[in-house]
């Protein structure tokens, strides 16, 4: 695997060295953060130090950070914990949300345009249609196409209707600058393993005055909003990764050059290839590309055999390589959507990785075209 090229950073990105060290140091320290002896106080100090670092990543206050087991739990807590027990509550979500939002019981779906951007006018009309307590959930950046949503604009509209606003910022954190106050949301979800921290740790950022009904019950940790003994080693790794990710935003911004080079070369190889949301503001590391005549599952396997790891979309699909709901919501025809794979660069990516992908794409495309003359990469 030494020569393997990893281009699936939106699924998970490799653990940063600083995160690994923080995890090991926390493991060596031991102690329960709720204990009052010196081992407990040391663990508590580690916990609160990480909380400060995670808060700084998104421009929030430390006391707003609620640690969870990941982005999925954070999303669930945001949408199920805010209006719990309220009759006739409404949860409005964009049509391209992650499954941890889209599968919340009783959600209403707000349509998106052909690039996956939420229809702001439709959201306004849907909120106007019923005077009922509501929560609106909009991701900041799409996990498949990378397109960036107009969250601040949507939040302003939702607030005019008295709705709370949740933002799934799992894919955006550490890739683009985030400022809690500028987005104007009430709740925000982030995840450690998307920024070079460990898997199994996330956070929900809760706005001042927003009440969260806990989904678990126990000792009152996390100010009673998410009880249970905190995962101190994981949280320590999260904090270390958050600090390094915030300081490396320029490096992530530079990945747009690799992404653009890949897309430019692919379109020269085949003008029938399709890059989704190509002209829209996107994450600098993400490209969703449909290869004419070759379905996504075959591509993923062929790329893997060529030593290049890509995906067919979200990693939360039980390992299946198939067209996801995002492209369908964008109105993409099934025969095109089924040929799309996601390329997601990350903090370890190099130009050599981009070249390896282009070379593999060229060979796979050539094999999939019967009688077609394929130009060299």
CATH fit for domain 17-247, picks 2.60.200.20, 3.40.640.10, 3.40.50.300, 1.10.260.40: 3.40.640.10
pLDDT at 372: 43
In this predicted structure, the answer to whether residue 317 has a pLDDT above a threshold of 60 is: no
What pLDDT, on the 0 to 100 scale, is given for residue 374? 43
5-13+249-368, CATH topology level: 3.90.1150
Per residue in 78-132, pLDDT (tens digit) is: 999 998 877 788 999 999 999 999 999 999 999 999 999 999 999 999 999 987 8
Q: Is the pLDDT of residue 10 over 70?
A: yes
Q: What is the pLDDT of residue 313?
A: 67
- pLDDT score of 178: 96
Measured between alpha carbons, how far is 20 from 39 in angstroms, rounded to an integer? 21
Render pLDDT for 55-65 as a digit per residue (tens, 0 to 9).
Answer: 999 999 999 99
| DSSP per residue, 201-214 | -EEEEE-TT-----
Q: Are 147 and 172 in contact (CB under 8 A)?
A: no
Beta strands, E only, the chain: 5-6, 65-68, 90-94, 108-110, 134-137, 164-168, 187-191, 202-206, 274-275, 286-290, 308-309, 340-344
Lowest mean pLDDT among 102-116, 171-185, 278-292, 306-320: 306-320
Cα separations in angstroms, 65 against 105, 119, 173, 220, 328: 25, 30, 14, 15, 34
The domain locations on the chain are 5-13+249-368, 17-247
CB atoms within 10 A of CB 119: 16
Q: What pLDDT is attached to residue 371?
A: 41
How confident is the model at residue 117, as a pLDDT? 98
Please determine, for residue 159, whether its predicted confidence score (pLDDT) is greater than 90: yes
Question: What is d(CA 95, CA 110) in angstroms, rounded to the nearest whole number?
Answer: 6
pLDDT of residue 321: 46
| Confidence check: pLDDT of 211 > 50 | yes
- pLDDT per position as a tens digit, 224-268: 899 999 999 999 999 999 999 999 999 999 999 999 999 999 999
The answer on pLDDT for 318 being more than 60 is no
pLDDT tens, 336-358? 999 999 999 999 999 999 999 99
pLDDT of residue 369: 76
Percent of the chain past pLDDT 70, that is, above it, reads 94
How far is 262 from 367, CA to CA, in rounded Å?
Answer: 19
How far apart, in whole angstroms, are the C-alpha atoms of residue 151 and residue 235? Answer: 27
Please state, for a pLDDT cut of 90, what percent of the chain lies above it. 86
Q: What's the pLDDT score for residue 370?
A: 53
Q: Quick one: average pLDDT of 65-88?
A: 92
Task: Please report the pLDDT score of residue 124 as a whole number.
Answer: 97
Identify the pLDDT of residue 316. 57
Active-site residue list: 316
- pLDDT category at 324 given cuts 50, 70, 90 is confident
The whole-number pLDDT of residue 71 equals: 97
């Amino acid at each position: 695997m030494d020569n393997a090229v990893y281009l699936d950073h939106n699924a998970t990105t490799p653990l940063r060295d600083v995160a690994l060290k923080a995890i090991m140091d926390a493991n060596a320290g031991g102690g329960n953060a709720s204990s009052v002896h010196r081992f407990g106080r040391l663990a508590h100090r580690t916990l609160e130090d990480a909380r400060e670092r995670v808060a700084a990543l998104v421009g929030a206050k430390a006391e707003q950070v609620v640690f969870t087991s990941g982005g999925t739990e954070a999303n669930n807590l945001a949408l199920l914990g805010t209006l719990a027990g309220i009759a006739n509550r409404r949860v409005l979500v964009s049509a391209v949300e992650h499954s941890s939002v889209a599968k919340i019981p009783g959600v209403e779906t707000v349509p998106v345009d052909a690039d996956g951007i939420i229809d702001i006018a439709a959201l306004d009309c849907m909120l106007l249609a019923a005077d009922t307590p509501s929560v609106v959930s909009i991701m900041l950046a799409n996990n498949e196409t990378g397109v960036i949503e107009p969250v601040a604009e949507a939040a302003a509209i939702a607030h005019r209707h008295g709705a709370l606003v949740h933002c799934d910022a799992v894919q955006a954190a550490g890739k683009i600058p985030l400022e809690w106050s500028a987005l104007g949301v009430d709740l925000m979800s982030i995840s450690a393993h998307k920024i070079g921290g460990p898997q199994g740790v996330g956070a929900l950022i809760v706005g001042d005055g927003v009440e969260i009904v806990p989904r678990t019950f126990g000792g009152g940790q996390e100010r009673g909003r998410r009880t249970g003994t905190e995962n101190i080693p994981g949280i320590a790794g999260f904090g270390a990764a958050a600090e390094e990710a915030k300081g490396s935003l320029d490096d992530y911004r530079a990945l747009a050059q690799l992404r653009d080079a890949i897309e430019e070369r692919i379109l020269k190889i085949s003008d029938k290839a399709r890059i989704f949301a190509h002209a829209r503001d996107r994450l600098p590391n993400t490209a969703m590309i449909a290869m004419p005549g070759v379905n996504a599952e075959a591509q993923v396997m062929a790329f893997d055999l060529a030593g290049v790891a890509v995906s067919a979309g979200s990693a939360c699909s039980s390992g299946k390589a198939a067209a996801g709901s995002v492209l369908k919501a964008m109105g993409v025809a099934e025969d095109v959507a089924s040929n799309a794979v996601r390329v997601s660069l990350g903090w370890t990516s190099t130009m050599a990785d981009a070249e390896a992908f282009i070379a593999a794409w060229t060979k796979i495309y050539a094999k999939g075209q019967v009688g077609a003359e394929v130009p060299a990469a």
